[in-house]
Structure 1
Amino acid sequence: MAEKKVVSIEDRIPKLKQARKKKANRRLIFYLSLFFILIGLVGYLQSPLSRVHTIEVSGNNYVDEEDIIDLSGLSTSQNYFSVNTDEVESKVKKHLEIEKVSVSRKFPSTIIISVEEFSRIAYIQEDNDFYPLLENGATLKSYPLETMPGDAPLLVNFTKQTYLQEMTKELSELPSSITNLISEVHWQPSEGNPYKVWLFMSDGFEVDGSIRNFANTMKAYPSISAQLDRSTKGVIRMADGGAVFDPYENIEKQGNDGENEDEVEG
C-alpha cells in the first residue's frame, strides 16, 4: 500500500500567499479599470465629442429643413445623451403641415428627425399670394407662396368656407394621377345649384361638374378624355349618370341648348 504524501504547513503557506496575492491583484486591476473608465466617461461627457454634431431631416417635401430644425430646438451645442426625443417630436409636430414625427439617435453624434407631411390638396389665392390647403382641411395662412407650385389645383372664388371644405375633402379622395390633370377649379354657384364647379384641365379640356360626388365622378375622367379627339377642344359636362362632350364650336354657334352634343361613355 502506497504511503500518502504529507505536505507540511510550512510548504502550504507560500502557495496560499501567492494565490491571495493574485486575487488581490485581479481585484486591484478591476477597480483601477473601472476608475479609469469612469474618468474617461466623465471627460467624454464634458468634452465637445459628446455634443450633437449632425442633425439630419428626412421625409420632408414641402417644409423647409431649417424650419424643422428650428422647431425641434436642437443645436450642436447640446449634449448628445441629454436629447429628449419625445420632447423634440412634440415640438416638431406643432407644424400644421407635419402629420407624424420620429426622432432617433445614430451614434456617436447624429440626431435624425423623420417626418411625414400632410398632402397638399389644393391652393387658394389671396391678393398676390398662394396658400396651400392640406388634406386635413387646414389652410396654411402662415406660409404664403409668391408663385403657384403647380403640384395641386388652384381653387378660385370659393368664398364660403363650407363649400371650400367640401371641395378639399372630395379632392383628397382622388388619386394623384387625376388631381394632377386639374389646373383650376372655379366655384360657380347658381340659384338652383350651389355646388356647381367649372374645371380647367391640363390637357386642354374644361369640365362642367359638381362638388357633390366630385371624387367618384372625376375618377372616370381619364377614360372619358381618352375617347375624345385631342384636336377638338370643348367642355365635358360630367354627372353621376355619365358625361357629354360639347365642342367649343357648338357652344359658339348654338349656345348651351344641348344640341349636337356628343355623349361619351364613362
Structure 2
Amino acid sequence: MSKKKIVSIEDRIPKLKQARKKKANRRLIFYLSIFFILISIIVYLQSPLSHIQTINVTGNSFFDDEEIIAQSELTMSTNIWTINTSDITQAMSDNPIIKSVEISRKFPWTVDIIVNEHQRVGYVEEESNFHPILGNGQILHEMEQDAISGDAPLLVEFTEEEYLHRMAIELQELSDSILNLISEIHWNPTDDNPNDIWLYMNDGFMVSGTIRDFADRMQVYPSIISQLDPEDKGVIHIGVGAYFESFENDNDEDNQMETSTEE
C-alpha cells in the first residue's frame, strides 16, 4: 500500500498568500484601468478634442453650405456628443425650402447634414424679375433673377393662388424628363373649366390640358410625339382622351389658340 505525501499547513500558507496577492493585484489593476478610462472620457468631453472639426453639407441647391450650417446653429465649438439632432432637424424644417434634413455624427469630429429640398418646378414673373416656385406651392420672393435658366417652365397668368398651388403640386409629380420639355404654362380659365391650361413645349408642340390630374395625363405625351412627324407641329389635347391636331389642318383654330393664350 502506497504512502500519501502529507503537506503541512506551514508549507501551504506561503502559496496561499502568493495566490491572494496576485488576485488582489489583478483586481487593483482592473479598478485603476476603469478609473483612468473614466478620467480620460471626462477630460475628452471637456476639451476641444470633442468639438466638431468638420461639417459636410449635401443635397442643397438654393443655399450654399455656409447658410445651411448657420441655420443648423452648429459651430466648431459645439461638442459633437451634445448635439440634439431632433431640435436641429425641427428648426431647419421650418425653412419652406427644406423638405427634410438628416443629421449624422461620424467619429471622432465630423457631422453630416443631408438636406432634402422641395423641388423647383417653375418660375413666376413679378415686376420683370423671375422667382422660383417650389413643389409645395411656395414662391421664393426673396430669390430673383433677370432670366430663366431653363431648368423649369414659366407659369403665366396664374392670378389666383389656389390654382398656382395646385399646378405646382402636379408639376412636382412629373418626371424630370417631361418637366424639362415644358417651356411655358398659361392658365386660361373659362366659365366651363377654371382648370384650363395651355402649354408651350420646347420641342415646338403645344398642349391643351387641365390642372386636374395633369401629371397623370401628361404621361402620354412622350408616346404621342414619338408617333408624330417632328416637322408637323400642332396641338396635343390631353383632356378628355388624347389626340393630336396639326396647325396646318386648321389655321383658324390655330389663330384662336394663340389668341386665347395671350388673353
TM-score, reference length from structure 2: 0.84
Bigger mean CA deviation after superposition, 232-241 or 74-83: 232-241
Describe the shift of the 1:78–1:14 C-alpha distance in structure 2 as closer, same or farther (beyond 3 A): same
| Displacement over 6 Å in runs of 4+ | none
Residue 188 of structure 2: aligned partner: 188
Deviation larger for 228-237 or 162-171: 228-237
Aligned-partner Cα distance in 1 for 2:192–2:211: 14
Task: Name the SS of the counterpart of 2:20 in structure 1.
Answer: helix
| Cα distance per residue 1:31-67 (max 9 Å; x no partner) | 3222322332232223322111111122334443222
SS of alignment partner, residue 198 of structure 2 = strand
Shift of the 20–141 alpha-carbon distance from structure 1 to 2, 3 Å rule, reads same
Match of 2:49 in 1: 49
- CA distance in 2 between partners of 1:115 and 1:184 (Å): 29
| Structure 1: stretches of 5+ with no match in the other structure | 258-266
Which is worse superposed, 157-166 or 245-254? 245-254
Q: Which runs of 5+ in 2 are unaligned?
A: 258-263
**d(CA) in 2 for partners of 1:34, 1:214:** 66
Alignment correspondent of 1:261: none
Q: What TM-score, normalized by structure 1, do the two folds share? A: 0.83
Q: 1:200 maps to what in 2? A: 200
3-state SS of paired residue (2:41) = helix
Aligned pair in 2 of structure 1 residues 253, 149: CA closer, same or farther (>3 Å)? closer
Q: Which residue of 2 aligns with 1:264?
A: none
* Contact 1:217–1:240 under 8 Å retained in 2: no
Distance 2:255 2:16 in 1: 117
Counterpart for residue 101 of structure 1: 101
8 Å Cα contact 2:170-2:214 kept in structure 1 = yes
- Greater shift in the superposed pair: 60-69 or 111-120: 60-69
Contact 1:98/1:118 (8 A) holds in 2:
yes
- For residues 13 and 241 of structure 1, what CA distance do their matches in structure 2 show? 103
Please name the residue that 1:222 is paired with. Answer: 222
State the alpha-carbon separation in 1 of the partners of residues 114 and 254 from structure 2. Answer: 58
Distance 2:87 2:254 in 1: 66
Q: Could you tell me which amino acid in structure 2 is paired with residue 36 of structure 1?
A: F
Three-state SS of the structure 2 residue aligned to 1:86 is helix
Counterparts of 1:142 and 1:254, CA distance in 2? 38
Residue 118 of structure 2 aligns to which amino acid in structure 1?
F
Secondary structure at 1:101's aligned position in 2?
Answer: strand
Q: Is the 8 A contact 2:136 2:165 kept in 1?
A: no
Q: Which residue number in structure 2 is paired with residue 247 of structure 1?
A: 247
Check conservation: 1:152, 1:180, Cα contact below 8 A. Answer: yes
Superposition RMSD on alpha carbons, in Å?
Answer: 2.7
Asked if structure 2 preserves the Cα contact closer than 8 Å seen for 1:124 and 1:131, the reply is yes
For 1:1-266, list aligned pairs within 5 A. Answer: 1-247=1-247, 251=251, 255-256=255-256
Q: Counterpart amino acid of 1:78?
A: T
Give the distance between the partners of 1:213 and 1:104, measured in 2 at CA: 38
For residue 256 of structure 1, report the CA deviation from its aligned partner. 4.5
Identity %: 51
User: SS at 2:130's partner residue?
Assistant: strand
